[in-house]
């Protein structure tokens, strides 16, 4: 974060030395006059996509925060094509473009870079089980990357210094599709960003890191390259604000915090369980989910019991949702070993906990608090929130509270709390595990739905072809 402050201070100094601009060239005035800020945004899981509750994504929320701060409407121009976004920026169709864009020398030569807000590594990846690449120049096949990407620019610079480096640019495949091609064996190697790999590994754990090609590359938004400082100065103030108040760190944790730790064996086991074990219980998760996403309920159940109706812990909790005897009675569950009853009772209990969370706490933090209290109890969660408030941090933010949960193990701390000792570190990991399982399950479920639609479409085409073949010939 010191790098961010350095960039901000330098930018402010440059602005102080710049000359005032004619009013007609003021980009910020145009934004206020139209009541909209127009953002070209890259469509993808690390940037912007349509989720269960509508538009979401790290870059989307950053852009929405800027629009709200300016008091204008956010108008999005989504694209899967970075070249298309650059074209929109050049012709003035958008005010800036966003999408986890690495601030490469080539890009900053053509566009103006807003303050960097993240730093990533560029990684060479290959499929688990294949040969282990040691150097780019020694690869047996070319590295395939998206055209107009930062990865293509990196390889172009490296190949100029080391001609033995071979790579190809694909105009048809984006970075996520290339990762899928690595998994299915269509290509051997590609480059990807570290955060992009972390997200994709939830669905494709076979992706393996060969080597780090570039480290600590800045990520930021791109503006038109002109002398208008009006929007640029607003962005300096905006990123300084979200850094100071913790919103930037909270946002990073929401989208990337739970995927930073990767367990290959556990991810493989979970994906197999989705295919082999979940189908027997899926309809009950859907039936009893209520206002919850059934996939979240299923992820909670997997964390608790690995979808084993007969599961039992040393502490006496049992069943699919690992309910205690008092909780089971409270939720009207007669047999904790009955899978349907357990799922129904666990869902009611989670929704009860969710309703206990103060309404001022927004989602998804509200949900993470409910999950934590499912694990260690409402009282211990409240103790952790009090510790957070005592430290001057925000007790309504999951990021802050989860950092204090491990303190509930320390005698010097828990002896002064209302509910005493608790395995708070396990509760924090518990919630992060469920978040990972949920993300994986959503991805697998959406992929299965897509495959089903494609198969149904194929069947319709086959039936239509058969009907045409069986139709009697037209009379002459």
Give the number of C-alpha atoms closer than 13 A to the C-alpha of residue 417, restricted to the C-beta side.
27
Residue 363 has phi, psi (to 5 degrees) of -75, 150
Active site residue 287: no
Tokens at 213, concatenated: 């090609």
Q: Which residues make Cβ contacts (< 8 Å) with residue 169, sequence separation at least 6?
A: 144, 145, 146, 147, 148, 149, 152
Per the listing, tokens 């799922």 go with 343
Q: What does the alpha-carbon distance between residue 52 and residue 239 come to, in Å, rounded to a whole number? A: 28
Q: What does the alpha-carbon distance between residue 125 and residue 197 come to, in Å, rounded to a whole number? A: 9
User: Which SS3 state, helix, strand or coil, does residue 102 take?
Assistant: strand
Q: Quick count: other Cβ atoms within 10 Å of Cβ 174?
A: 17
* Chain center to CA of 261: 13
74 DSSP β-pair partners: 37
SS3 labels along 383-416: HHHHHHHHCCCCCCCHHHHHHHHHHHHCHHHHCC
Q: Quick count: other Cβ atoms within 10 Å of Cβ 73?
A: 12
Nearest to 302 by CA among 324, 325, 283, 285: 285
62 CB burial (10 A radius; 0-12, 13-18, 19+) = buried
Q: Quick count: other Cβ atoms within 10 Å of Cβ 363?
A: 10
- In the set 304, 341, 400, 432, the catalytic residue is 304
Catalytic residues: 304
């Amino acid at each position: 974060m010191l790098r961010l402050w350095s960039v901000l201070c330098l930018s402010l100094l440059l602005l102080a030395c710049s000359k005032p601009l004619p009013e007609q060239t003021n980009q910020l005035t145009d934004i206020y006059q139209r009541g909209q800020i127009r953002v070209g945004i890259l469509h993808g899981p690390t940037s912007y996509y349509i989720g269960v509750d509508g538009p979401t994504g790290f870059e989307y929320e950053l852009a929405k925060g800027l629009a709200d701060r300016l008091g204008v409407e956010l108008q999005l121009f989504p694209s899967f094509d970075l070249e298309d976004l650059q074209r929109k920026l050049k012709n003035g169709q958008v005010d800036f473009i966003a999408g986890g864009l690495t601030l490469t020398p080539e890009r900053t030569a053509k566009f103006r870079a807003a303050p960097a807000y993240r730093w990533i590594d560029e990684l060479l990846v290959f499929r688990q089980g294949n040969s282990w690449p040691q150097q780019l120049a020694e690869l047996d096949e070319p590295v395939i990357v998206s055209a107009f990407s930062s990865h293509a620019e990196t390889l172009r610079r490296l190949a100029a210094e080391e001609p033995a480096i071979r790579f190809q640019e694909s105009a048809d495949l984006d970075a996520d599709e290339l990762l899928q091609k690595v998994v299915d064996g269509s290509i051997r190697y590609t480059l990807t960003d570290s955060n992009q790999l972390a997200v994709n590994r939830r669905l494709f754990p076979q992706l393996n890191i060969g080597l780090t090609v570039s480290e600590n590359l800045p990520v930021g938004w791109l503006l038109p390259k002109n002398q208008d400082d009006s929007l640029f100065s607003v962005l300096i103030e905006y990123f300084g604000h979200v850094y100071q108040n913790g919103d930037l760190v909270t946002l990073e944790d929401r989208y990337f915090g739970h995927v930073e730790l990767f367990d290959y064996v556990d991810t493989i086991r979970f994906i197999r369980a989705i295919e082999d074990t979940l189908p027997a219980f899926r309809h009950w998760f859907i039936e009893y989910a209520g206002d919850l996403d059934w996939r979240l309920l299923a992820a909670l159940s997997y964390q608790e019991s690995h979808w084993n109706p007969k599961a039992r812990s040393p502490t006496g909790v049992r069943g699919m949702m690992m309910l205690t005897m008092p909780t089971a009675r409270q939720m009207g569950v007669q047999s904790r070993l009955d899978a349907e009853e357990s799922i129904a009772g666990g869902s009611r209990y989670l929704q009860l906990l969710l309703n206990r969370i103060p309404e001022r706490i927004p989602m998804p933090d509200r949900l993470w608090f409910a999950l934590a209290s499912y694990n260690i109890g409402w009282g211990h969660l409240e103790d952790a929130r009090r510790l957070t408030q005592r430290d001057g941090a925000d007790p309504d933010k999951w990021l802050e509270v989860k950092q204090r949960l491990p303190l509930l193990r320390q005698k010097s701390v828990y002896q002064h709390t209302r509910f005493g000792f608790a395995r708070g570190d396990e509760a924090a990991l518990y919630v992060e595990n469920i978040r990972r399982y949920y993300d994986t399950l959503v991805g697998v479920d959406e992929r299965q739905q897509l495959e089903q639609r494609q198969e149904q479409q194929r069947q319709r085409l086959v039936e239509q072809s058969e009907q045409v073949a069986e139709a009697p010939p037209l009379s002459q």
